[in-house]
Amino acid sequence: MNWPISTASRAASRSARPRGELGGAADIWRYAAALARDLHGESYNTLGDGTLGVVLREAIGVVSIITPWNFPFLIVSQKLPFALAAGCTTVVKPSELTSGSTLVLGEILEAAGVPAGVVNIITGTGPDVGAIMTSHPDVDMVSFTGSTGIGKLTMTNAAQTLKKVSLELGGKNPQIVFPDANLDDFIDAAVFGAYFNAGECCNAGSRLIVHKEIAEDVIARIAAMSAKVKVGDPLDPETQVGAIITPQHLEKIVGYVSAASGNGATVSHGGAALDLGSGQFMSPTILSAVTPDMAVAREEVFGPVLSVLTFETTDEAIRIANSIDYGLSAGVWSRDFDTCLTVGRKVRAGTIWMNTFMDGASELPFGGYRQSGLGRELGRHAVEDYTETKTLNMHIGGRTGWWMPRS
């Protein structure tokens, strides 16, 4: 549920999200292919005259890869090429809502010469297919991206046979903005971070933690820019916020907004579903006067809803940022590098952006603290996650007997 793309790719993707997703995925495949040639073990020849130690990295075996619906091509590309680079065989289950692109990927891999049986793609629901993939004794590792609730169930299933598990789960990611920040840049990043992919992104910047001194101005400026965001047909290159995945999910998003409003939050922009003739759409929404105890400030809404909280001191901002169960990513905005570094080191999240948001690259690891998951994807160590370490302890020459020392 990550989108680790460069600033240039991100800008291009605003009007063409699927093309941007494919570009980011292609870069990951190239990067993983390079890592395949660099996978290596270790040797130790300083353990004594009669000992040589060699540490091998071997493919862990069969890997079950389960991916969600929100970035169906990109997320499988954060997993599958690294498993292949390590020498593993795989069983891949895309979401039953968005299986098509993964099936096309299978055709591409077959045409590229991947041997039969190395990549196996199965479609179906979690209960029918995913449960078997996470519990079957012949599976050695599970790599799952999805909700925290299903991630916990995946871990429970895998625990029955003590499989290795990699989980990339939910997020409720804060952007902390100080009065000395470049507000022009921040406003753009706040709108992008909240509404990108209709907010159906675990990396969404769905919490703004804004200094009280500038909060009123920030809310007004974000509302003004939000009014210009185009909602509509996802296939229209000019669309910035497309359809919500299902009617049931739209109902859930509207429910969060209604509950927050009922508990004292102010709807500063949007706040309702949109009737565009067909499909299900949610207006870009800003909730102000949000308090840290509200569900909309603590739980993953997974829609184009931005919650605005305020602070007065740096310690208070850090405390609010860390007050939830998630720890996937965060942003901090200030011209003072000391402020950025202080916040960056104290906020418990896997990625901290400083004066930017949702930028990334294949070289940079991605994953979360706490209930945002286990392990990291991407980066130069990603291939190693799909390996086991084996030690070869070799004795050279005659062995000294334990029962009777040799003369």
* pLDDT for residue 21: 83
* pLDDT for residue 404: 64
Q: Does residue 202 carry a catalytic annotation?
A: yes
- Nearest Cα to Cα of residue 75 among 385, 382, 377: 377
| Partners of 281 in the β-ladder | 274
* pLDDT for residue 86: 97
* pLDDT for residue 17: 54
* pLDDT for residue 7: 39
Q: Return the domain boundaries, the chain.
A: 7-169+372-394, 174-354
Q: Does residue 168 carry a catalytic annotation?
A: yes
Spatial separation of the C-alpha atoms in residues 284 and 145, rounded to whole Å = 25
**What is the architecture of the domain spanning 7-169+372-394?**
3-Layer(aba) Sandwich (3.40)
DSSP for 333-355, written as a single string: E-S-HHHHHHHHHHS--SEEEES
* pLDDT for residue 11: 41
- What are the C-alpha distances in Å from 314 to residues 156, 173, 179, 320? 38, 17, 11, 10
* pLDDT for residue 16: 43
Among candidate residues 168, 200, 300, 377, the one labeled active-site is 168
Provide the Cα torsion 336, 342, 345, 349; round to 10°.
-70
CATH superfamily of this structure's domain 174-354: Aldehyde Dehydrogenase; Chain A, domain 2 (3.40.309.10)
Spatial separation of the C-alpha atoms in residues 380 and 176, rounded to whole Å = 29
Neighbours of 115 (CB within 10 A): 9
Q: H/E/C letters for each residue in 203-235?
A: CCCCEEEEECCCHHHHHHHHHHHHCCCCECCCC
* pLDDT for residue 8: 37
Alpha helices in 37-113 (DSSP H): 72-77, 80-86, 100-112
* pLDDT for residue 400: 72
Among candidate residues 21, 88, 200, 202, the one labeled active-site is 202
pLDDT one digit per residue (tens) for the chain, 407 residues: 454 444 333 443 444 455 778 889 999 999 999 999 999 999 999 998 889 999 999 999 999 999 999 999 999 999 999 999 999 999 999 999 999 999 999 999 999 999 999 999 999 999 999 999 999 999 999 999 999 999 999 999 999 999 999 999 999 999 999 999 999 999 999 999 999 999 999 999 999 999 999 999 999 999 999 999 999 998 898 999 999 999 999 999 999 999 999 999 999 999 999 999 999 999 999 999 999 999 999 999 999 999 999 999 999 999 999 999 999 999 999 999 999 999 999 999 999 999 999 998 999 999 999 999 999 999 999 999 999 999 999 998 887 777 765 55
DSSP for 246-313, written as a single string: -HHHHHHHHHHHHHHHHTT-EEEE--SEE--SSS-EE--EEEES--TTSHHHHS---SSEEEEEEESS
